[in-house]
A and B are shown apart, each in its own frame.
Chain A
């Protein structure tokens, strides 16, 4: 029998002993409370990082709401607990829990985990272990939840294939409802399911899920290796499983205006604002960008829907800032109209609007001015990504130095005092010189800015990290730069910037050292053998690998040596090795819609410095997604106008 009661009483006794206990109490404003006993299918949805990072995550908020709106389905949220609480939970036998109802994770039918990054893998193992769920999927029985993986990292789930039961690729909204329907029907047919110690029914349920073609069940595929360590082939071991599993694509975002009730946490989180996704997908074609490649095609929300979502969200949350999210927010077909309409609507209301991700062009300065009309002005951020013109051609980020100078000149001229520039180090074909050109670029930015602003009192921050090649991108075949060279280039750049007497003090320099990127690269492009490294590292204490104060490179390297001792491959083989065209990649049987030949050609074009346009305003270049998955670009303009809102009478003011 599964234990299902709330563990809050046990937890409450130890909360005075941990840091920031408020993150574990739940009860956020707008959090749903659905009746436990009335539900037939119960999901725990976990974001495998600290509450302060996980709470704002849109994927978890959206899916929790979508599931709780469904008849007979319940969803509660869970986040990773910090090591101080983990230790107390182990001492006192407190299981991993949801913050909504403080139910043990083992009480649910399904445990969905959303991986924005591979660095959450070890936190998944901590939660499974604290929940009393066997770490290995093969050791679970009918009495354990199905562990379902989603998020961008699910596009190569092979490193965690041994730990998860089901993988969902792509948009989750419809997929989780589909899974719920299958589980609901299965439980109705097998009333005793979930209580027995065997695993026959579990396997039958997994076969039924795999048989829909909508999910990937790693256990139903065998991987064969060649003597040199490369993959020979991946093939299904049951007729229930399809040869390839495709991603889900949600068409018509206007029909799915979630989250309708954004959560307002008590605890401080990384984004103190409400977020609204203005479109999904990106076809800019930046070759390093996995998000842009795996979320195609572009699907916009209309101006009318966005106006309604923002109004409802602000009224229900009281947030002072709205983040308009997407992979390149200034690309919305009606962004200027939207910005003006919203600024007019909220004139005098202390509501700030922000675009977290913008292109480098002068249009964006007008936009930024409009967005900050009613609220605070923070810095402006642009991402040229590559330091030299040649480098930007390789990555297909088509920004010239003139564009950048013109943009920042406009920004400083309009009164902005701080501009942030984002770059990457370690891109394919990069040389020391390409990276050092970032210093020249920053120098020219400061010079032009001082002239435009008429003052020396302006700043520019250069932020740079190591590039990690990702699956389903043209760079999936590329060699990752070793961390020693990455660090040497970053240090040379730092010295070049700091040593500049004229502008050095006006330029801030932030960089991330190259070592965590190697572990991220290992987990990103790894195969099933990498799962053993994850387990070794976790047993040796790896937790919160995205946090520099918890991350240990040595621990991961040592785990790699132990786990791969009997294999013909090592960590360098997974990371700094370039792959050939015909090598079977661990994720080749997972279908992002992108045509493999197109990706290869784009990789070759990158090496030759060739550019690709955006298919929203040029003809289709046959990346394969729309043809193959039956999807299409959905963009405006809708020419809808945001009308002023009628005044709402106050209920607190004296008559």
Chain B
């Protein structure tokens, strides 16, 4: 007689909501797992009527997509949640933002009307501030990286060290002066698997572009979304917003 999961009623989800949040300042040192715990606790504090999975250990239904690595800041992270009673997106944005620690900030909430959020997250635009170099120096390094046919970097995976080529993921970049912080590269990268990490791009700038070693660079993801033909990164929530503007009956 094996023990069965308790006979809890599993309440079906009635609505999905997509959340854009930012990871700012010191909070950029939080890992994705840190964020998951913080979000789940914040959802409870904000009394969001979450849908739960069935089984011995019910978990709130949250879908995470493509999180920025530990140490990188972001203005454009996305998750989707499922709730058992309908919620007002604007109220949810305000309450959830208040329930999260400052630095994990909820920027936008829209009701999901389309099926594939992850499919919308095709590319990322990163700002990478490299301390101790001027814009000309960074420009040269970026030109060398851009001109390279391949940019192999070593990454330690679960299976052991593996060599990845960064080059095919690069869409384009521009260099700007960053004042006291040095110089900054704004670069657009395709969200391929495995994801290209900004610190690996810095490795390429040092090794291929000849930048001198120095303090760690500071990276911020500025945008994440569909990649247009001209190389710009669009708003991944635009289809949901457009669908929400139409009458409810037309949504699925």
- Other than the known A21-B70, A22-B30, A654-B85, what 14 A-B pairs have Cβ atoms closer than 8 Å? A16-B199, A28-B101, A268-B33, A272-B37, A317-B45, A318-B41, A318-B44, A457-B2, A650-B49, A651-B46, A651-B47, A652-B47, A652-B95, A654-B88
Which residues of chain B come closer than 8 Å to A376, judged between CB atoms? 56-57
Instruction: Map CB proximity to A onto B83-107 as digits: 1 under 8 Å, 0 otherwise.
Output: 0011110011001100101110000
- Those of A399-423 within 8 Å (CB) of chain B: 415, 417
**In the assembled complex, how far is the CB of residue B140 from the closest CB belonging to chain A, in whole angstroms?**
24
The verdict on B34 contacting chain A, using a C-beta distance below 8 Å, is yes
**In the assembled complex, how far is the CB of residue A85 from the closest CB belonging to chain B, in whole angstroms?**
12
Would you call A27 and B26 a contact (CB within 8 A)? Answer: yes
Which residues of chain A come closer than 8 Å to B199, judged between CB atoms? 16
**In the assembled complex, how far is the CB of residue B237 from the closest CB belonging to chain A, in whole angstroms?**
18
Binds B, one of A7-15, A354-362, A461-469, A480-488: A7-15
Instruction: Map CB proximity to B onto A25-41 as digits: 1 under 8 Å, 0 otherwise.
Output: 11111000000000000
Q: Which residue of B lies closest to A453 (CB)?
A: B1
Which of A17, A272, A455, A653 is in CB contact (< 8 Å) with B49?
A653
Instruction: Map CB proximity to B onto A632-655 as digits: 1 under 8 Å, 0 otherwise.
Output: 000000000000000010111111
Would you call A652 and B52 a contact (CB within 8 A)? Answer: no
Which residues of chain A come closer than 8 Å to B71, judged between CB atoms? 15-16, 21
Would you call A16 and B87 a contact (CB within 8 A)? Answer: no
**In the assembled complex, how far is the CB of residue A103 from the closest CB belonging to chain B, in whole angstroms?**
15
- The answer to whether A266 and B87 touch (CB under 8 A), given A650-B49, A652-B47, is no
The verdict on B172 contacting chain A, using a C-beta distance below 8 Å, is no
Q: Does more than half of chain A's interface fall in helix, strand or loop, or is it mixed?
A: loop
Which residues of chain A come closer than 8 Å to B87, judged between CB atoms? 652-654
- Report the tally of A-B residue pairs with Cβ distances under 8 A: 102
Would you call B85 and A653 a contact (CB within 8 A)? Answer: yes
Instruction: Map CB proximity to A onto B28-68 as digits: 1 under 8 Å, 0 otherwise.
Output: 01110110011011111111110010001110000000000
Bound CA–CA A318/B99 (angstroms): 9
Bound CA–CA A654/B216 (angstroms): 45
The verdict on B3 contacting chain A, using a C-beta distance below 8 Å, is yes
Would you call B29 and A22 a contact (CB within 8 A)? Answer: yes
The verdict on A107 contacting chain B, using a C-beta distance below 8 Å, is no
Would you call B88 and A268 a contact (CB within 8 A)? Answer: no
Bound CA–CA A648/B44 (angstroms): 13
The verdict on B215 contacting chain A, using a C-beta distance below 8 Å, is yes
Please list the 5 inter-chain residue pairs (A to B) with the smallest Cβ-Cβ separation, ordered nearest first.
A318-B41, A318-B44, A16-B216, A21-B29, A25-B26
**In the assembled complex, how far is the CB of residue B109 from the closest CB belonging to chain A, in whole angstroms?**
10
Which residues of chain A come closer than 8 Å to B26, judged between CB atoms? 8, 12, 25-27
The verdict on A229 contacting chain B, using a C-beta distance below 8 Å, is no
Q: Which residue of A lies closest to B131 (CB)?
A: A13
**In the assembled complex, how far is the CB of residue A621 from the closest CB belonging to chain B, in whole angstroms?**
44
- The answer to whether A653 and B88 touch (CB under 8 A), given A16-B216, A25-B29, is yes
**In the assembled complex, how far is the CB of residue B112 from the closest CB belonging to chain A, in whole angstroms?**
15
Bound CA–CA A348/B11 (angstroms): 11
The verdict on B205 contacting chain A, using a C-beta distance below 8 Å, is no
Which residues of chain B come closer than 8 Å to A28, judged between CB atoms? 101
Which residues of chain B come closer than 8 Å to A648, judged between CB atoms? 47
- The answer to whether A13 and B215 touch (CB under 8 A), given A27-B103, A454-B1, A653-B85, is yes
The verdict on A319 contacting chain B, using a C-beta distance below 8 Å, is yes
**In the assembled complex, how far is the CB of residue B48 from the closest CB belonging to chain A, in whole angstroms?**
5
Q: Which residue of A lies closest to B41 (CB)?
A: A318
**In the assembled complex, how far is the CB of residue A128 from the closest CB belonging to chain B, in whole angstroms?**
26
Q: Which residue of B lies closest to A655 (CB)?
A: B88
**In the assembled complex, how far is the CB of residue B74 from the closest CB belonging to chain A, in whole angstroms?**
15
Would you call B86 and A315 a contact (CB within 8 A)? Answer: no
Would you call B45 and A316 a contact (CB within 8 A)? Answer: yes
Bound CA–CA A26/B40 (angstroms): 19
Bound CA–CA A563/B46 (angstroms): 58
Bound CA–CA A318/B46 (angstroms): 9
Which residues of chain B come closer than 8 Å to A319, judged between CB atoms? 41
Bound CA–CA A652/B148 (angstroms): 51
Would you call A266 and B38 a contact (CB within 8 A)? Answer: yes
The verdict on B76 contacting chain A, using a C-beta distance below 8 Å, is no
Bound CA–CA A16/B202 (angstroms): 13
Would you call A653 and B86 a contact (CB within 8 A)? Answer: yes
Bound CA–CA A8/B33 (angstroms): 24
**In the assembled complex, how far is the CB of residue A625 from the closest CB belonging to chain B, in whole angstroms?**
40
Q: Which residue of A lies closest to B9 (CB)?
A: A348
The verdict on A264 contacting chain B, using a C-beta distance below 8 Å, is yes
Which residues of chain B come closer than 8 Å to A320, judged between CB atoms? 44
Which of A25, A267, A318, A651 is in CB contact (< 8 Å) with B91?
A651
**In the assembled complex, how far is the CB of residue A508 from the closest CB belonging to chain B, in whole angstroms?**
19
Bound CA–CA A186/B102 (angstroms): 38
**In the assembled complex, how far is the CB of residue A297 from the closest CB belonging to chain B, in whole angstroms?**
37
Instruction: Map CB proximity to B onto A315-343 as digits: 1 under 8 Å, 0 otherwise.
Output: 11111100000000000000000000000
Would you call B34 and A268 a contact (CB within 8 A)? Answer: yes
- The answer to whether A25 and B27 touch (CB under 8 A), given A350-B52, A653-B87, is yes
Would you call B41 and A652 a contact (CB within 8 A)? Answer: no
Bound CA–CA A24/B52 (angstroms): 33
Would you call B70 and A318 a contact (CB within 8 A)? Answer: no
Q: 11 A-B pairs, CB-CB below 8 angstroms?
A: A12-B26, A13-B215, A21-B29, A22-B70, A27-B26, A27-B101, A266-B27, A316-B45, A454-B1, A455-B2, A653-B91
**In the assembled complex, how far is the CB of residue B26 from the closest CB belonging to chain A, in whole angstroms?**
4
Which of A8, A20, A652 is in CB contact (< 8 Å) with B46?
A652
Which residues of chain B come closer than 8 Å to A654, judged between CB atoms? 85-88
Bound CA–CA A25/B26 (angstroms): 6
Bound CA–CA A382/B42 (angstroms): 34
Which of B34, B103, B215 is in CB contact (< 8 Å) with A267?
B34
The verdict on A377 contacting chain B, using a C-beta distance below 8 Å, is yes
Which residues of chain A come closer than 8 Å to B70, judged between CB atoms? 21-22
Which of A13, A20, A652 is in CB contact (< 8 Å) with B92?
A652
**In the assembled complex, how far is the CB of residue B39 from the closest CB belonging to chain A, in whole angstroms?**
10
Which residues of chain A come closer than 8 Å to B41, judged between CB atoms? 29, 264, 317-319
**In the assembled complex, how far is the CB of residue A157 from the closest CB belonging to chain B, in whole angstroms?**
36
- Those of A25-59 within 8 Å (CB) of chain B: 25-29
Which of B29, B43, B47, B57 is in CB contact (< 8 Å) with A15?
B29
Bound CA–CA A25/B28 (angstroms): 10
- Those of B101-120 within 8 Å (CB) of chain A: 101-103
Would you call A315 and B45 a contact (CB within 8 A)? Answer: yes
Bound CA–CA A651/B49 (angstroms): 11
The winner among A13, A21, A316, A415 for most chain B CB atoms within 10 A is A21
**In the assembled complex, how far is the CB of residue B81 from the closest CB belonging to chain A, in whole angstroms?**
11
- Those of A259-295 within 8 Å (CB) of chain B: 264, 266-268, 272
Which residues of chain A come closer than 8 Å to B1, judged between CB atoms? 453-455
Which residues of chain B come closer than 8 Å to A315, judged between CB atoms? 45
Q: Which residue of B lies closest to A377 (CB)?
A: B56
Would you call A318 and B42 a contact (CB within 8 A)? Answer: yes
Bound CA–CA A320/B58 (angstroms): 11
- Those of B173-224 within 8 Å (CB) of chain A: 199, 215-216
Which residues of chain B come closer than 8 Å to A268, judged between CB atoms? 33-34, 37
Bound CA–CA A26/B102 (angstroms): 11
Bound CA–CA A654/B31 (angstroms): 32
Bound CA–CA A95/B5 (angstroms): 52
Would you call A350 and B92 a contact (CB within 8 A)? Answer: no
